Structure 1
């Protein structure tokens, strides 16, 4: 029995990806030149990327991805790129991310669009604008997918592109919008870039109109490139609370867009807007946001959702606009896994926080930038349960499970059920592990805090409750816990199965 995986092919292509990562590194380098900051962190990283990439490419001069090599390529890419991305933090040596474990945590959180941070002080006094821009830019790069980006620009991935794109975000098959998968990847990136540019224009437009002086051009760019990937990193310590209500209202539709399957926008822009409103998942997604926002609104406007301390501070009780804004904003932020905060919801009541915890498990649409379990899986699960109840009474009945575009085969249904089961098991096990580690090394977590910590990292959401609340950070955790959360962010971004497959002996030997 011999080795069945030509790992040299996968590693060689990872080297090519690292070489191409020098291009996005030019953005913070130019920013450093504009603001008169140190360019060394980015110059050194560029050199390392070129050298390491060139050496890895020599392992296989003409790589052609096979089915098994595709899994390894995706998993290694999502490890190698965050490791490269941590180098500017280490070279800059600014603040808490100057430590290797913290730098890796911040980089993995950025590229996986998790938004969990170990920064103790988010300010231009501690961190340069260029380093903070790189921190935000990592989320934009990871939002639609590093592999999707590479498929769009690398000719050698045009053959196996569909497979690796599916492995980067498994679930339903990648929908080919054009005859070639490379053209499909480019189409998706054009839509992603277009919405990002529109977000920058609208955010900064409110500044030019005099309604949001705090939304400078730098802030407009920084928040647009973290809204569209549902990332949540902000150069402001108070997140979106630092901005006026008009900015908070403006961000909401972009969070909704970022959690929508981008393929639907392609159809809308090509004369088929009906595909958007007819889509089963999109309708379920909008309904979920509406119901969740309505529940939060009732809790806040009646005062049941806030503590006695929070009532005068938040001024929510009885104020319709304020309650509606924060309820809808936080519902969108949690369901789309963006992780922005319009206020410190640590001050909300346990009942309200429990509602927010449940929202963490939804996620946006397949084919979007959102993380977590995804709306379509919950839709299929409830249809599956209904079918099982019906066929129990009518054993001879054949009841297919349909979406708006197709009838799902049993293999697809089993895959969805398997992923959801694995996700919930990993969530439960990780909650226990992080809880006991917090008792050992601190910070001491409550059950709710431990659950939210696990879900915030595994679901790529970012903030949780208590110690990991929106105005706090993950710095107090032990290095062991941080490294385990790095693993959770990595495996969560690749939706578990792509990583578990390469950890099985049958993948390598049979």
Structure 2
């Protein structure tokens, strides 16, 4: 049987995306000029992106995609963008002892950036070790990946807008695409408009805190850098101590913006149109806010009564300190539940009960249509309603009881796809945990079951930090290259919600 996928069209359009990637690469190039750093790194990367993109475009002049070609285009584009994004790390690392000079490490850092995972293999994060340009590129990759590279391209490129619905559906986080306008390209522009608006607002607030004396460490560079990684729920920071490097005022301000980032952005468009009542009528949003509030209150109580006795260095003691207990709990829960990955304290030092609460939060994920990772709140809602219906059916086998969300009946095909995704997600996560643990054992690398478990969960869920050596102030550098490749794959499929990548590994996709 012949190959049934017109892969040349997909690769040609990937080339178009790579050519346009040269535009955001001008930002770190400008930063290098401002700080009088070498410009060769990003000049050469821009040239590489243009040449590679032009070469791929030569493969086909067609632009119309069927579903198969669309899935291939989305999957390959994210991999190709991560490869190009790794080039600055490799060039900057030549002749240095930087961990990013290694190709696998550079690709890990780049994939972690574009997928907004926030896991790092940097051995040291500092302005002395890395240029401002490299550190800002690291932040910018997360901002580009947050709302979605394909969504951005659909918004600005006519040749992709004609295939927009299936492209955005393949990339967008969540079980369904919510069209805000009849034209998908216009919807994509609206989502990016809201995303950019919140980013600018966050920069303004952080800068205001700096100028009013509430955040002396929050320079203009830091304000922009952290806005680039808060709204995409990314978690990268140019500061080694993440948000713990800043004042409590900055930490309190970051919490609502992380909540915003984990909310379906379509809801904010309705607010701008004067339909704000839709926000609190949305069952997923209500459950999302309830989960954050419940987990935060539970953890705050634990911290207040001594669950984190080792916080004296980072974050101060929480035992008996109500404000600090509330701030630390609300920040860590919001950060991990939304898959942002920022930290204000080293929760590796917390006792087992505190870690268990964080672990549950990591499984929840943000809302569909947000920049958050994980399984997503709406999938948990539908899955729980499905289980309740099955229990009811066991007692009333003849009853017909549809699943409803906010008064709307959920189509049975959607229910089936949600259950299928959830099962596949958990299966891949558990299987990857075993692979990572066995790989560590193969080379004699000491890895606890909790560390292997959290490494798999943190990468497929695009969360970033885990437990043990990969805690909020640790890194993934010590893992063998083979495990890092597995985790690169997990970040890739986790950001694209598994199926657009996994389907490429089946024979039926290519030949049936």
What TM-score, normalized to structure 2?
A: 0.98
> Match of 1:250?
253
Residue from 290, 313, 316 that aligns with 2:293: 290
Residue from 144, 152, 155 that aligns with 1:152: 155
Please give the residue correspondences for 1:56-75 in structure 2 after superposition, counting only pairs within 5 Å: 56-75=56-75
Please give the residue correspondences for 1:33-182 in structure 2 after superposition, counting only pairs within 5 Å: 33-93=33-93, 95-169=98-172, 171-182=174-185
Please give the residue correspondences for 1:107-506 in structure 2 after superposition, counting only pairs within 5 Å: 107-169=110-172, 171-303=174-306, 305-307=307-309, 309-310=310-311, 314-404=316-406, 406-441=408-443, 443-506=445-508
Please say which of residues 161-170 and 28-37 is displaced more in the overlay.
Answer: 161-170
SS in 1 for 2:32: helix
Please say which of residues 115-124 and 155-164 is displaced more in the overlay.
Answer: 155-164
Q: 1:276-323 deviations in whole A, cap 9, x for unaligned?
A: 1100100000000001101111110111x224x446873110100000
Q: State how far apart, in whole Å, the 1-side matches of 2:290 and 2:444 are.
A: 39
Q: 1:369-388 deviations in whole A, cap 9, x for unaligned?
A: 00010000110011001111
Alpha-carbon distance, 1:171 to partner: 3.7
- Contact 2:174–2:376 (8 Å) recurs in 1: no
- Contact 1:441–1:477 (8 Å) recurs in 2: no
SS in 2 for 1:426: helix
Q: State how far apart, in whole Å, the 2-side matches of 1:446 and 1:405 are.
A: 45
Alpha-carbon distance, 1:421 to partner: 0.4
CA-atom RMSD in angstroms: 1.2
Q: State how far apart, in whole Å, the 1-side matches of 2:429 and 2:356 are.
A: 16
- Contact 1:311–1:317 (8 Å) recurs in 2: no
- Contact 1:442–1:477 (8 Å) recurs in 2: no
- Contact 2:63–2:160 (8 Å) recurs in 1: no
Runs of 4+ in 1 over 6 A off after TM superposition: none
Q: State how far apart, in whole Å, the 2-side matches of 1:441 and 1:477 are.
A: 10
Q: State how far apart, in whole Å, the 1-side matches of 2:325 and 2:28 are.
A: 38
- Contact 1:442–1:476 (8 Å) recurs in 2: no
Q: State how far apart, in whole Å, the 2-side matches of 1:128 and 1:472 are.
A: 21
Q: State how far apart, in whole Å, the 1-side matches of 2:173 and 2:319 are.
A: 43
- Contact 1:248–1:342 (8 Å) recurs in 2: yes
Alpha-carbon distance, 1:405 to partner: 6.5
SS in 1 for 2:364: coil
Alpha-carbon distance, 1:169 to partner: 2.7
Q: State how far apart, in whole Å, the 2-side matches of 1:411 and 1:318 are.
A: 51
Q: 1:311-362 deviations in whole A, cap 9, x for unaligned?
A: 6873110100000000000000010000000111111112211211111110
Q: State how far apart, in whole Å, the 2-side matches of 1:127 and 1:311 are.
A: 29
Q: How many residues are paired up? A: 508
- Contact 2:365–2:377 (8 Å) recurs in 1: yes
SS in 2 for 1:365: coil
Alpha-carbon distance, 1:435 to partner: 1.2
Q: 1:464-504 deviations in whole A, cap 9, x for unaligned?
A: 11110111111111111111110110011111111111111
> Match of 1:20?
20
Q: 1:109-165 deviations in whole A, cap 9, x for unaligned?
A: 000000000111100100000000000000000001111011011101112111111
Q: State how far apart, in whole Å, the 1-side matches of 2:457 and 2:469 are.
A: 14
In structure 2, do the counterparts of structure 1 residues 158 and 478 end up closer, same or farther at CA, with 3 Å as the change threshold?
same
Unaligned runs of 5+ in 1: none
Q: State how far apart, in whole Å, the 2-side matches of 1:441 and 1:212 are.
A: 45
- Contact 2:404–2:410 (8 Å) recurs in 1: yes
Q: State how far apart, in whole Å, the 2-side matches of 1:213 and 1:202 are.
A: 13
In structure 2, do the counterparts of structure 1 residues 318 and 474 end up closer, same or farther at CA, with 3 Å as the change threshold?
same
Q: 1:153-185 deviations in whole A, cap 9, x for unaligned?
A: 110111211111111136433111112110100
Q: State how far apart, in whole Å, the 2-side matches of 1:240 and 1:197 are.
A: 19
Alpha-carbon distance, 1:63 to partner: 1.8
- Contact 1:443–1:467 (8 Å) recurs in 2: no
Alpha-carbon distance, 1:442 to partner: 5.0
- Contact 2:173–2:370 (8 Å) recurs in 1: no
